[in-house]
Structure 1
Amino acid sequence: MNIDSIKNGIVLDHITAGTAMRLYDALGLDDLDCTIAIIKNVKSNKMGKKDILKIDNDFKVDLDVLGYLDPNITVSIIRDGKTIEKQKLDMPKQITNVERCKNPRCITSVEQDLDNIFYLANPEDRIYRCLYCDSKVENK
């Protein structure tokens, strides 16, 4: 299989195997008019298997969304065919409008225009809680 390198864009590497499409949807990549390579189940010495996303565009990626969905991802910024910056992610302390609160009694269920805000309650178990009703969201 031959996948071209990109000139200017972003490479998302070390994605948990089988989850690249979830990232694709969460980042809204289907709205971009550029080449996007989704490489699934690549052999990895460190992870066994992994996914990779290559975006051939100067796309402003939301690092909080990536950190929430998969904090092990490495983000590489590519310019003129060379990696100019590599970023490791952390789990964000707070996320806004990435998830919806599932509690039917939460104020966000009644007030549709209210932002869904979750804070990181337990980093080890990747548990976020709703800022308004304290309902739990487990992201595994």
Structure 2
Amino acid sequence: MVTINSIKRGIVIDHIEAGQGVKIFNYLGLDKADFTVALIKNATSKKHGKKDIIKIENVIDFDLTVLGLIDSNITINIIEEEVIIEKIKPELPKRVEDIIKCKNPRCVTSVERDIVHRFVLVDRKKGQYRCEYCDEIYHFLEV
């Protein structure tokens, strides 16, 4: 049996939908980290049955926008001296740039180079975004 201790200083990303933790882990490049990191999969959750958790024994800088896109139900806990000093709840951003890539072959972003891929949130419940150039609809997790 493996014991995962509390962390003294760092970040705990909690309430990740079961199975989505590895996406966040990879996005943050934690597989290359030279500090202690724990990816806990399928932990028991009172609300959702199961959840993933990531514990990072370090303070790192990352884009909350992408974390909100991957899973808008997560909680990011900032830890100092083994105490949560701040809780952050990322939301789906109203607008994203160069995170989602339009795959429509007729879109100007498919033809022209160096054009910023811009998407606008059109359905918060479904997590759907519309390309500003061609109006193609995407769900972030499908991309």
Say yes or no: TM over 0.5. Answer: yes
Structure 1's unaligned 5+ residue stretches are none
Match for residue 95 of structure 2? 94
Match for residue 28 of structure 2? 27
Structure 2's unaligned 5+ residue stretches are none
CA distance in 1, matches of 2:30, 2:116: 22
Match for residue 69 of structure 1? 70
Moved over 6 A (4+): none
Query: 8 Å contact 1:73–1:88 — kept in the other structure?
Result: yes
Q: Could you tell me which amino acid in structure 2 is paired with residue 108 of structure 1?
A: T
Match for residue 13 of structure 2? 12
Equivalent pairs counted in the alignment come to 140
Match for residue 125 of structure 2? 124
Q: 1:25 to 1:112 in 2, by over 3 A?
A: farther
Q: Could you tell me which amino acid in structure 1 is paired with residue 89 of structure 2?
A: K
Worse overlay, 91-100 or 28-37: 28-37
CA distance in 2, matches of 1:26, 1:101: 19
- TM-score w.r.t. structure 2 length? 0.90
CA distance in 1, matches of 2:112, 2:9: 41
Q: Could you tell me which amino acid in structure 2 is paired with residue 101 of structure 1?
A: C
Match for residue 3 of structure 2? 2
CA deviation after TM superposition for structure 1 residue 30, in Å: 3.2
